[in-house]
Amino acid sequence: MTHPGASLRQEIQSGNAVEPFIGIFDAFSASIAAKHSNNLFYSGFGFAASNYGLPDIGYISWSDMITAAWRVRQILPEHKLLVDVDDGYVDVSVACYVATQLENMGVAMIMLEDQARPRRCGHFDGKVLLPLDQYMEKLEAVLAQRTHMCVLARTDASGDEIYKRVERISRSDADVILVDGVRSLQTLKEVRQITDKPLLFNQIAGGKSPRVTLSELREAGASLALYSTPCLFAAQSAIQDSLSTIFSDDGRLPNTADKKTIGVTESSALLRQNMESHMPPSVQILTA
């Protein structure tokens, strides 16, 4: 069986359009997003929010992220999963260990950034970069460790430092490059001129990057697109709206008959699909 990373590499190198990566924050959101794209992204922002209730400023434990990715792989084995491993959890040896564990469970690609601690979301101010030599040491070690899995090299640089880092990363075996927090497509076009590596563009609602279409991204030179947190932000908005509606109507639940509100039947059907996806055909699943 072909490793998902090898399959993704073939897709990228084919030159054809690659389905966007949709950011998820847990196994449940992944099962919904899976109906819209074969490519999913385990967002560090989403994971920190959903698992810890904390902002994306370096709280994530590598062991927690490995466990979370495993859960998604169990219910969606046919989908390609990109996992955000932040800065590799500081240490080079830890970064290599995490990469090996994720590759062994069938993760298609990991994202390794060049931030130093204290780290933060790529669209926030106050980011501190690792010296380029230190980042390249970590990146090269991870690349040497992997076998099939793709590696996305991310830089959070700004200004002229972007081009210096992209040029250096381009000499490595990284499969894809991301310049995060790009403020205009012109920067993306300029990066395209100095590297032959496939470029990924990260879109996050309310972030620093412009709201653009997939066609505009392709015209600017991006081969891949990433929607970092649509599931998390949609869930937050929906929960706030739902609870406000319930208690503004004296505690009455919304009517599921209008098909705009999910009820127990629809939710249970999705969960049952998740269960059936990794059960042997011979196993009989009892109906609740």
Query: Where in the chain does DSSP place strands (E)?
Result: 21-24, 39-42, 80-84, 109-113, 150-155, 176-179, 199-203, 224-227
Quick check: 186 and 162 in contact, CB under 8 A? no
- Tell me what percent of the residues of the chain surpass a pLDDT of 70: 92
What pLDDT shows up at residue 52? Answer: 94
Residue 272 has a pLDDT of 80
User: Could you read off the pLDDT of 105-140 as tens digits, one per residue?
Assistant: 999 999 999 998 877 765 667 688 999 999 999 999
Q: Which of 77, 79, 70, 72 is nearest to 20 (CA)?
A: 79
pLDDT at 252 (0 to 100): 85
Burial bucket for residue 284 (CB in 10 Å: 0-12, 13-18, 19+): exposed
How does the average pLDDT of the chain come out, rounded?
A: 90
- How far is the C-alpha of 181 from the C-alpha of 203, rounded, in Å? 9
Distance from C-alpha of 225 to C-alpha of 185, rounded to nearest angstrom: 13
pLDDT value of residue 84 = 97
How many whole angstroms separate alpha carbon 53 and alpha carbon 266? 27
- SS3 call for 48: helix
Name the burial class of residue 151, with classes exposed (0-12), middle (13-18) and buried (19+) by CB atoms within 10 angstroms of its CB.
buried
pLDDT of residue 283: 43
Average pLDDT over residues 195-216: 90
Residues 6+ apart with CB under 8 A from 172: 136, 139, 140, 143, 153
HSE, side-chain direction, 13 A CA sphere, residue 15: 1
Sort strands 199-203 and 224-227 into parallel, antiparallel or unpaired.
parallel
Contact 118, 58 (CB under 8 A): yes
pLDDT-based confidence at 282, cuts 50/70/90? Answer: very low
What is the average per-residue pLDDT within 94-104? 97
Rg (CA), the chain: 20
Residue 194 to residue 167: CA distance in whole angstroms: 7
Domains of the chain, start order? 4-235 (3.20.20.60)
d(CA 24, CA 69): 11
198 vs 287, higher pLDDT = 198
Q: Is the pLDDT of residue 182 over 50?
A: yes
